[in-house]
Amino acid sequence: MNKPAMQFGTPPTNPLLIVISGPSGIGKDAVVGLLRKTNPDTHFVITMNSRPPRPEEVDGRDYFFVSRETFEEMIEADELLEHAKVYSDYKGIPKSQVREAFASGKDVIMRLDVQGAMTIREICPDAILIFLTASSREEWVNRLLERRSETPEELELRFTTAAQEYAVMDRFDYLVVNSDQHLDKTIEDIQAIIRAEHLRTTPRKVDL
């Protein structure tokens, strides 16, 4: 009978594909923004978006903002890893970003809505999906109201969509609570997940 080979030193590993997701207003942008500062050796994917930027958003930092026509041309040319139409606008991930990061050996973190995360689940079964939630429904609703960027009709659509998104939460690998005034704890939890995943006896492998 063959005996298992003894392993010493650092376990073998592959670059990880990590998806940060959750309902609208749950704090994905803030979480990813702080992860950028604390994980400088990680590649953070910039999502492409067909909507106009909000006043505080910067093209090339928060999103790549393109016209609807340009986005549809990229869909036709199969240049996107995933894409979806969310609240009447397109969002998507260019394939080239992820492939180049993996080629350099870097982990990749994506910020996606739940619909996009489910697409990645189908394309890349070994991707790590993290679902962000608030400590209570009241906390989450207050965040949406404080943004003051949605009409009453748009808010109602977000409430309906969130119910559908929570219904697929069990398809994610991890659940992380992102509470008000406790962003550092959220980051610590996500970093602990990443460290643990790099110590797996059977490394994940993402093929694109």
pLDDT at 160: 85
pLDDT at 4: 64
The pLDDT confidence band at residue 192, using thresholds 50, 70 and 90, is very high
pLDDT at 177: 95
Q: Which residue among the candidates 36, 99, 137, 147 is catalytic per the annotation?
A: 147
pLDDT tens readout for residues 84-122: 887 789 989 998 889 999 999 999 999 988 988 999 999
Strand order in the sheet with 48-49: 64-65, 48-49, 89-94, 80-86
Q: What CA–CA distance (Å, rounded) separates 59 from 52?
A: 10
Does 137 participate in catalysis according to the annotation?
no
Q: What CA–CA distance (Å, rounded) separates 120 from 104?
A: 21
Does 147 participate in catalysis according to the annotation?
yes
* 47: Cα within 13 Å, side-chain hemisphere: 28
In this predicted model, which residue has the larger pLDDT, 5 or 181? 181
Mean pLDDT of 58-83: 92
pLDDT at 2 over 80: no
Q: What residues contact 94, with CB distance under 8 A and at least 6 apart?
A: 48, 64, 74, 79, 80, 81
CATH class held by domain 17-197: alpha beta
Does 204 participate in catalysis according to the annotation?
no
What mean pLDDT is reported for the chain?
89
Q: Which residue among the candidates 36, 54, 99, 171 is catalytic per the annotation?
A: 54
pLDDT at 149: 64
Three-state SS string over the chain comes to: CCCCCCCCCCCCCCCCEEEEECCCCCCHHHHHHHHHHHCCCCEECCCEECCCCCCCCCECCCEEECCHHHHHHHHHCCCEEEEEEECCEEEEEEHHHHHHHHHCCCCEEEECCHHHHHHHHHHCCCCEEEEEECCCHHHHHHHHHHHCCCCHHHHHHHHHHHHHHHCCHHHCCEEEECCCCCHHHHHHHHHHHHHHHCCCCCCCCCCC
What's the pTM? 0.82
